[in-house]
Amino acid sequence: MTDSSTTALPPVVPAGAAEVESALATAAAAEHADGHPPFSDQTRALLRRGGHELLLLARADDARSDEAAGAAVVVREGGDLLVELVVHPQHRRRGVGRALAEAAAGHLRAQHPDAVDQGGVVAWAHGTLPGSDRLARAHGLSPVRELRRMRLDAGQAPSSASEPPEGVRLRGFRPGQDDAAWLALNAVAFAEHPEQGSLTQQDLEDRMGEDWFEADGLLLAEREEDGALLGFHWTKHPAAAADEPAAARGPEGEVYAVGVSPQAQGTGLGRALTLAGVHRMLERGARRVLLYVDADNTAAVHLYERLGFVLDAADTQHRLARAD
């Protein structure tokens, strides 16, 4: 969420499927300016397949035809209603953020009064930009969760990878063959995680359809004796600009997700998987690697710090207070 304020609020209108790309173009402009995607991957996937509940657009006379001055999205996330909001960098501090927030709040009060009363509404402030906290608190939301973005520069990476435990081998994902086993592993590895642990076959297919997806970039750890999956490291290393050679990769990779089965925790597999994916991205041209981790997951934070990752930014989740 980003904030802007002025006395005359711009008009906000519900948008249909034809205007999804306009919202995504605005999000891309904000990401380029801020260094943080304002919508999560799951929200973007839901938008593209029409799985969102509401899309609101704010228009301005000087906005480009393929961009909106701002956009707000309402989607379901587990048992909650999630709001994500973005204001185009060229239209900030004009009341766009406030207008979008008020329109989204009005929709939730009208359509989901029970969720509003019971505190079932959350909002993410990606990058925790100035004004996000103020806008959230103005609508009765308080910070409840911090998602840290950590960064590892190529020169700070460990010089060598770590071998997996004895009897475990690493290999690439096989679309269509490993789907069910990977989804089951992901569910148990992230049983306490509200977003990652609830991924479905459709969610997996959405991500496999992204231009950054590579099957070999989803590293699987399997037990040699029976092929059972014990862990994975999903790397995200997008291609470079469209005019670059097809094999070129961008300067920034991401530890998209690292999951380890409960039966393999404490064996060093998480470290081995993390380093294997990091070195794969660095060898393919990444100059830095990012990852996201919950601040209260102290074991993971300490592991990443030992590997050389440092705090780069943070996202904050806000939750609507329950009605008294």
Q: Is 317 marked as binding a ligand? A: no
Q: Is 121 marked as binding a ligand? A: no
Q: Is 41 marked as binding a ligand? A: yes
Name the region of 192 (left: φ>0; alpha: ψ -120 to 50; beta: rest).
Answer: alpha
Q: Is 106 marked as binding a ligand? A: no
Spatial separation of the C-alpha atoms in residues 223 and 261, rounded to whole Å: 12
Q: Is 126 marked as binding a ligand? A: no
Q: Is 129 marked as binding a ligand? A: no
Q: Is 195 marked as binding a ligand? A: yes
Q: Is 267 marked as binding a ligand? A: yes
Q: Is 87 marked as binding a ligand? A: yes
Q: Which amino acid is at 137?
A: R
Name the region of 69 (left: φ>0; alpha: ψ -120 to 50; beta: rest).
Answer: alpha
Spatial separation of the C-alpha atoms in residues 117 and 182, rounded to whole Å: 37
CB 244 within 8 A of CB 196: no
Q: Is 141 marked as binding a ligand? A: no
Q: Is 265 marked as binding a ligand? A: yes
Q: Is 186 marked as binding a ligand? A: no
Spatial separation of the C-alpha atoms in residues 84 and 72, rounded to whole Å: 6
Q: Is 298 marked as binding a ligand? A: yes
Q: Is 260 marked as binding a ligand? A: yes
Q: Is 256 marked as binding a ligand? A: no
Annotated binding site: 41, 85-87, 195, 236, 254, 258-260, 265-271, 292, 297-302
Annotated binding site for acetyl-CoA: 85-87, 258-260, 265-271, 297-302
